[in-house]
C-alpha cells in the first residue's frame, strides 16, 4: 500500500492535505474556492478536521501555493502537507504549520535542516527522536517521508489517514 504522502487521493496528482481546527469547514471551503483551489475531500473529527484540495488553481498559469495565512483566522490552526510540490520534477513533500494566521514552522522533507517560520524549531525534538536530524540521523532509508509524517502527526495528535 502506498502511503498517503505519496498519493493522497488515488488517480489525482498534486493534492494538498490540510488538517484544521479552530475554524469551520465551510469557511475553509469558501476560502479555498476564493483562491480557485478545488476542495476534493473532507472529514470532520472531534479534534482536527481534514481537507484535501488541488494544489494548483484551476486558472491556467497560477502555480503558486494557496495563501494559507488568509485561511487561518485568530484561534485557527492549519497543518498543511504539500504532498507533491512538483510531481513532474519529483520534489519531496513540504509541511507548514499555521496558527492565528501566522506561519509557525515549515520545511521541505528533502531538507528538514532548513526550517522557516516564527518558531522554526518547533518540530525539532520529534525530528531528532525520529532520527531525521541530529547525530544519529538515518537519511539513507526508503521510508524517510513516512517517518517524517509519523513524527509530525504524532506531535500534533493528528488523526490517522487510512487510504486504500
| Domain spans in the chain, listed from the N-terminal domain onward | 15-156
Q: Which helix (H) or strand (E) holds 27?
A: helix 25-34
User: Starting at the edge strand that comes first in sequence, how are the strands of the sheet with 111-116 ordered?
Assistant: 39-44, 49-54, 15-21, 77-82, 94-99, 102-108, 111-116
What are the backbone angles phi and psi of residue 157, rounded to the nearest 5°?
55, 45
* 79, 154 contact by CB (below 8 A): no
Half-sphere exposure of 152 toward its Cβ, with a 13 Å CA cutoff? 26
- H/E segment holding residue 32: helix 25-34
Q: Are 70 and 31 in contact (CB under 8 A)?
A: yes
Q: pLDDT tens string for the chain (164 positions)?
A: 457 676 666 666 678 999 999 999 999 999 999 998 988 888 877 799 999 998 877 776 666 778 999 999 999 999 999 887 655 455 678 999 999 999 999 999 888 889 999 999 999 999 999 888 887 777 667 788 888 999 999 999 998 876 55
How far is residue 20's CA from residue 45's CA, in Å, rounded to a whole number? Answer: 10
Amino acid at each position: 500500500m502506498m502511503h498517503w504522502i505519496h498519493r493522497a487521493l488515488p488517480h489525482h496528482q498534486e493534492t494538498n492535505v490540510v488538517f484544521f481546527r479552530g475554524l469551520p469547514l465551510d469557511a475553509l471551503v469558501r476560502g479555498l474556492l476564493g483562491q480557485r483551489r478545488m476542495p476534493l475531500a473532507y472529514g470532520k473529527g472531534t479534534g482536527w478536521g481534514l481537507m484535501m484540495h488541488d494544489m494548483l488553481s484551476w486558472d491556467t498559469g497560477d502555480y503558486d501555493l494557496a495563501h494559507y495565512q488568509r485561511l487561518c483566522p485568530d484561534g485557527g490552526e492549519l497543518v498543511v502537507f504539500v504532498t507533491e510540490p512538483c510531481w513532474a520534477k519529483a520534489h519531496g513533500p513540504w509541511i507548514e504549520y499555521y496558527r492565528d494566521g501566522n506561519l509557525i514552522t515549515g520545511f521541505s522533507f528533502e531538507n528538514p535542516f532548513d526550517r522557516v517560520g516564527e518558531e522554526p524549531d518547533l518540530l525539532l525534538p520529534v525530528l531528532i527522536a525520529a532520527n531525521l536530524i541530529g547525530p544519529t540521523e538515518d537519511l539513507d532509508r526508503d521510508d524517510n517521508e513516512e517517518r517524517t509524517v509519523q513524527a509530525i502527526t504524532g506531535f500534533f495528535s493528528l488523526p490517522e489517514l487510512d487510504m486504500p
